[in-house]
Chain A
Amino acid sequence: MADPIKLAYFMAVKEGASYLGGLLVTDTSGIPLDFRYTEPITPTRLQSILYGKSLEPHLKEEVIQKTLLKELKTPPDLFILSATELAGGWSGDAKYPVLAVQKSQESPLAKVGEAFRAGPRELLIQLSEGAAPLRVMFAASVDAVAQEQAVVKLLEAGYHMDLAEPLERVTAALQSLVVKES
């Protein structure tokens, strides 16, 4: 029997002047297997000046993401983040297929399990009958072959769970942690 698919959902948020991130690993039902989060990082004024505009990407990709991935005991099959983060030019770790999923307003595809390529790094996949297809966007580091393999895993997981929903849970968990610590 093949190993169950593990999906890693990454989210980094800014609360006030602090940054913190969380990484949720779920099975194909969306049930949490692991959840790690970083303690809030508050850059000093000098660090903000020296890093400038590169402060936020550096914190999210180099500091928060790498720290969280190091903590994982088993590597995930897919690394999923928000569409906003991916559109901002994600250049993080390329060990895993990095992608973003987003609910679309497109008309449903012909049948469940069908995929439609909308661009070199963008696909639409039909996960349930009659619903709008899910938009999948891959990072630049994911080649076409890796994209096809990732789509197969997404279709399998999407049969049981809402693929975009766990990111909302990560955000809610981070906000509850910030409130608890403050």
Chain B
Amino acid sequence: MFGRMKDAVADAAETLRRAFAGLNVVEVKPEPFRFQSHGSASLAVEGRAGLNPPVARLHEMCLLSQAVEGRALEPFHAELHAESGWARWGAEAEVVRMTPLEGGSATRMAVPPLPRKAQTLSKLEPPVRPPTRRWADSLGQPGTRHLDPGLGSVKAESGLSAMLSLAVPIRSEDIQRLPKGLWMRYSLQLVRGTGENVRNLEVLGLFRIPRKGVADLRHDPGQGRILLRLERLAVHAARAPFILARRKDDGSLVSCYVEDP
């Protein structure tokens, strides 16, 4: 009992499988989801006048005046027509008759000679000549200006005071080149003037400097010279020999003017 049921169900299942085996499966691609945004129109207020009063419209109806009479359909009648091919060919053919040529009147035409020389064209004129206008107001004469490039005269000033503010270096004379008698004379005057023993003095130099107007005096042992700061009085003062010496015991400087013979 159950075996027959099972076979029946299996047959039914096989039948269904065969029935649907030939079906084509169509794959439908789903459309991509698109997000669409719709903007909402902004609310607007529209002002309107009051309601219009109802208007009645009149419509006129036309009555049918001409009636069409319907007729019953007539039955088809078949007719047999016969047509001969030759008769049709003869009926459609057309005979064309040509008129013969007739003699006409002929006239002689003269051929114009070719030009012997090519024609040269002159310079093309402009299609439109621009109209010339004259400037009524002439430009005025430019004004000339004179600018003297000369550097002019320069004023000179006396700056002796500024110059005297700078130290004046005086070089020592070469004592070895002096006549021995003259140097003896100078040495004697040095001893008298300073009151020192000649053995205690070391002569630093003999300088020829202004007798007046010496404001300051400094010794420059490196270069064997003295540096003087002078006053205006010194410019025209007489120059006199001047001996600068150093005491050997304490190293202090002594000096004196000496007289020329």
Using CB atoms and an 8 Å cutoff, list the residues of chain A in contact with chain B: 22, 24, 27, 29-39, 41, 43, 46-47, 50-51, 58-59, 63-64, 67-68, 70-71, 112, 128-129, 159-162, 165, 169, 172-173, 176-177
Using CB atoms and an 8 Å cutoff, list the residues of chain B in contact with chain A: 147, 149, 151, 153-160, 162-166, 168-171, 173-174, 177, 208-210, 225, 228, 230, 234-235, 239
Chain B residues lying within 8 Å of A160, measured Cβ to Cβ, are: 170-171, 173, 208
Q: Can you add 20 more A-B contacts, CB < 8 Å, to A31-B170, A159-B174?
A: A24-B163, A27-B239, A31-B234, A32-B160, A35-B158, A37-B156, A38-B157, A46-B147, A67-B153, A67-B155, A71-B156, A128-B174, A160-B170, A169-B163, A169-B166, A173-B162, A173-B163, A173-B166, A176-B162, A177-B162
Chain A residues lying within 8 Å of B153, measured Cβ to Cβ, are: 67
Q: Which residue of A lies closest to B172 (CB)?
A: A160
Chain B residues lying within 8 Å of A37, measured Cβ to Cβ, are: 156-157, 159
Contact check, B151 vs A47: say whether CB atoms are below 8 A apart: yes
Contact check, B157 vs A36: say whether CB atoms are below 8 A apart: yes
Q: Which residue of B lies closest to A55 (CB)?
A: B151
Contact check, B159 vs A47: say whether CB atoms are below 8 A apart: no
Please report the C-alpha to C-alpha distance between residue A112 and residue B163 in the assembled complex, in whole angstroms: 31
Chain B residues lying within 8 Å of A41, measured Cβ to Cβ, are: 151, 154
Please report the C-alpha to C-alpha distance between residue A135 and residue B137 in the assembled complex, in whole angstroms: 73
With beta carbons under 8 angstroms apart, the residue of A47, A68, A71, A176 that contacts B149 is A47
Please report the C-alpha to C-alpha distance between residue A182 and residue B155 in the assembled complex, in whole angstroms: 17
Least CB distance from A53 to B in Å reads 15
Chain A residues lying within 8 Å of B157, measured Cβ to Cβ, are: 36-39
Least CB distance from A114 to B in Å reads 14
Q: Which residue of B lies closest to A37 (CB)?
A: B159
Contact check, A33 vs B151: say whether CB atoms are below 8 A apart: no
Chain B residues lying within 8 Å of A43, measured Cβ to Cβ, are: 151
Chain B residues lying within 8 Å of A36, measured Cβ to Cβ, are: 156-159
